[in-house]
Structure 1
């Protein structure tokens, strides 16, 4: 009897020691788990959550669209151009924060690599992150409304509303299309075609062929950045059921598609160069694009793809700057 009691006590002690060694397990939903002790949130954390690496994708279509508008005449509508830039940048930041919120409350960002996830880390209340994202959407809406009032293109209010709704439902709502392999469709449409052509239209009320070609190029770069991001997160996305295009087609096909998306804009620049010879200088952006492709094909750790993502964004910005120069030169 005494021996049996002693064995039970010994087993209880072992179980207790094992529990101490075992890491605490928490829910994937940060709204339901305690705040992790990572220190107070700093301005650097908020800046990281804004994902500044993606902002060149907001600047590039405005540069291309403004250059295309300027190529048709000597007048430069710099106030409208700046307002278009504000819309694009605020919308991009809003998308980044609402994605942080939506992915975080679903538990999809628990083991992410890259910038800090405010919601998933539990360091910021989900509602605070959501309100921040919505505030940037509101700023984009105000800048867009100013453009509409200035140009009297009232039908563009519907375009602006569509942009904000598409940004929210990318990862928000009950059936986010970003979880169904349609994220690239969103970024190509809104951060390529709509952003570039919209910028050109509100300045000259026309869409010359160089604007269309540049819009396709901007959209392809945006898709490439998203592919690099999703390739980095492919294993985590599979675990949580986030069916991005990368998850659906696999690593190798994603690497091939990324390469095509980065190189295709340079083929388009040779077409533009037939009308605007300075556009050949856009090929210099390959100095950033080719290393990004190399990393995507040779990476060993997901963290390396953060560099590829940043290089692709820089490629898009350099490319857009070259086209702007060619159009206004």
Structure 2
């Protein structure tokens, strides 16, 4: 019974929610303002929201017919009949409740101004795949990821410790968000063949396979350049994350040109590892130096 739930929550995607929280908190630590309890609450809230997005996406896509037997991605439990829609909704309700509880606790400890951002994040859980105008079906998936897994995750996690925000923090949020957006783009490139007949107009469907792959490379290159610009005041230590990422970047840039179908599942997993590597490496630099 545990395996279907692991398939449904998609553990490999969770790095995209945890890593920017760690980066934002490391920025707060660097400024001498880290609040440990706030860090744990932010991590719990972010994890629960990511799991909720995955469960909702499985439920909505299974219900709408987007997920079919032709799909090349990891198993979707609704489409495969491994779990009933009702079971998914129960799980979705549970993790949403945990996200709300941890979020409200975090709001009480920091600022009630966070409530608006929390409500927006919760709304995005359902608006991404469902509702009258699903974001994922209107070429807005990558922008949504940049907003919530970049700017909001890094900026918001910094804010819960410091009650302030600044351009440098948002710059790091942009870097993390661009890499996370590349994860979403790989997912959508893989699913072009099944999304197009289902009238799911992802950015990859709109751009076409070749241009979407070019955009993927552009996102990663822009992220590296952005990091170098925003980290320039730190000096040579700012090169540590780039040096650690370079072997992965070379592999990913080369592989995106040739991988097809199910082979893009590995590309997706490795891109998720890249955002985790970047955020951990940059967090270590901020904590140590």
For Structure 1 versus Structure 2, the TM-score category normalised by the shorter chain is over 0.9
* Structure 2 match to 1:10: none
Please say if residues 289 and 311 of structure 1, whose CA atoms lie closer than 8 Å, have aligned partners that are also in contact: no
Structure 2 equivalent of residue 101 of structure 1: 59
Deviations 1:156-210 (A, max 9, x none): 1121111011121111113212111111121111111111101001101122333
Measured after TM superposition, the shift of residue 91 of structure 1 is 0.6
Q: What pairs with 1:20-31 in structure 2 (closer than 5 Å)? A: none
Q: CA RMSD in A?
A: 1.4
Alignment partner of 1:264 is 2:222: yes
State the alpha-carbon separation in 1 of the partners of residues 248 and 97 from structure 2.
34
Q: How many Å separate the matches in 2 of 1:138 and 1:253?
A: 40
TM-score by length of 1: 0.83
- Whether 1:287 aligns to 2:247 is yes
Q: Which residue of 1 aligns with 2:121?
A: 163
1:327 to 282, 286, 289: 286
- 2:86 — aligned with what? 127
Residues of 1 paired with 2:250 and 2:44: CA distance?
30
Residue of structure 2 in register with 1:59 after alignment: 18
Aligned to 1:149: 108
* Structure possessing the higher relative contact order (Cα contacts under 8 Å, 6 or more residues apart): 2
User: Which ranges of structure 1 fall in alignment gaps of 5 or more residues?
Assistant: 1-41
Residues 141/286 of structure 1: CA separation in 2 closer, same or farther (3 Å cut): farther
Equivalent residue, structure 2, for 1:200:
158
Alignment check: 8 A CA contact 2:168 2:230 kept: yes
| SS of corresponding position for 2:261 | coil
1:1-329 to structure 2, matched below 5 A, reads 42-73=1-32, 75-110=33-68, 111-151=70-110, 153-277=111-235, 278-283=237-242, 284-299=244-259, 301-329=260-288
In the TM superposition, structure 1's runs of 4+ consecutive aligned residues that sit over 4 Å from their partners are none
Higher helix share: 2
Secondary structure in 2 aligned to 1:242?
coil
Find the counterpart in structure 2 of residue 4 from structure 1.
none
Q: Which SS does the other structure have where 1:239 is aligned?
A: coil
Paired with 2:253 and 2:263, the residues of 1 have a C-alpha distance of 12
Structure 1 counterpart SS, 2:284: helix
TM-score (norm: length of structure 2): 0.94
Per the TM alignment, residue 327 of structure 1 is displaced from its structure 2 partner at its CA by 1.6
Alignment check: 8 A CA contact 2:25 2:158 kept: yes
- For 1:6, the equivalent position in structure 2 comes to none
Q: Deviations over 1:96-133 (max 9, x none)?
A: 01000000001111132232211111232112112212
Q: In the alignment, is the contact (CA less than 8 A) between 1:56 and 1:314 conserved in 2?
A: yes
Larger mean CA deviation between 263-272 and 165-174 belongs to 263-272
**CA radius of gyration, larger in:** 1
d(CA) in 1 for partners of 2:97, 2:234: 38
**Whole-angstrom distance in 1 between the partners of 2:281 and 2:166:** 18
Instruction: Name the count of aligned residue pairs.
Output: 285
Task: Give distance in 2, aligned partners of 1:175 and 1:67.
Answer: 36
Which stretch shifts more, 303-312 or 202-211?
Answer: 202-211
Structure 2 CA distance for aligned equivalents of residues 83 and 275 of structure 1? 31
User: Paired residue for 1:8?
Assistant: none
